[in-house]
């Protein structure tokens, strides 16, 4: 449940006039809200905003999609200049009870910025692997939770975004599980 979009924009404009160091914008749902967030970020403020997407690529594509296709490159260029990081999270049932978070982190650097600016969003995952500093893919976060004994491999498999690469990551980490058992887990749960 969020606030009225008109009120959100009014609140953002008022907050920007107050010149805060940090601005919590809430969920970005349209181009005007994104423009206000970019404006605030370009003046040196830290802007925290949310967006309901599954992957880094989807996040950036959704933001660019708030604008007509002929403006996509311009918007992505502005994002590439102001973006510090994209944090994605997935809550999973923790082994033994409770929940645990798998945290995906994409930190902007010159290589990542060039991909965003060039609208080559499909290459972000590979760039994250190459520029390791702080970058954590969704699959890497899931595998780390499995290795720490916090999440069952099958639960992670059912919540991963790219099952083929998740299976490959599990094989590299020598995590044994059979994805064919996923159907049984879904019918039991």
Q: Rounded to the nearest 5 degrees, what angle is found at the Cα of 67, between the Cα atoms of 66 and 73?
A: 115
CA distance linking residue 95 with residue 6, whole number of Å: 43
Alpha-carbon torsion (38, 39, 42, 44), positive or negative: negative
pLDDT at 1: 40
97 contact partners, CB below 8 Å, separation of at least 6: none
Task: Catalogue all structural domains in the chain, each as residue range(s) with its CATH number.
Answer: 1-50 (no CATH), 51-188 (3.40.50.300)
89 contact partners, CB below 8 Å, separation of at least 6: 101, 102, 103, 104
pLDDT at 177: 82
The span from the first CA to the last CA of the chain, in angstroms, equals: 28
Structure tokens at 108: 């902007």
Structure tokens at 186: 């879904």
pLDDT at 15: 80
Tell me the per-residue pLDDT of 121-140, one tens digit each, with 9 for 90 and over. Answer: 999 989 998 877 889 999 99
**Mean pLDDT computed over 50-57:** 93
Alpha-carbon torsion (29, 105, 177, 97), positive or negative: negative
pLDDT at 186: 46
Q: Answer whether residue 58 shows pLDDT above 50.
A: yes
């Amino acid at each position: 449940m969020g606030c009225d979009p008109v009120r959100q924009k009014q609140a953002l404009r008022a907050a920007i006039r107050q010149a805060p160091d940090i601005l919590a914008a809430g969920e970005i749902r349209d181009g005007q809200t994104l423009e206000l967030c970019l404006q605030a970020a370009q003046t040196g403020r830290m802007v925290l905003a949310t967006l309901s997407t599954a992957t880094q690529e989807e996040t950036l594509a959704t933001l660019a999609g708030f604008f007509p296709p002929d403006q996509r490159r311009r918007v992505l260029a502005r994002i590439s200049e102001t973006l510090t990081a994209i944090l994605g999270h997935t809550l999973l049932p923790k082994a033994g009870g409770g929940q645990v978070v798998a945290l995906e982190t994409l930190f902007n650097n010159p290589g990542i910025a060039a991909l965003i600016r060039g609208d080559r969003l499909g290459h972000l995952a590979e760039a994250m692997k190459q520029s390791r500093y702080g970058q954590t893919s969704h699959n890497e976060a899931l595998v780390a939770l499995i290795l720490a004994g916090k999440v069952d491999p099958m639960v992670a498999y059912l919540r991963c975004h790219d099952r083929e690469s998740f299976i490959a990551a599990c094989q590299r980490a020598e995590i044994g599980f059979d994805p064919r058992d996923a159907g049984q887990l879904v019918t039991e749960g």
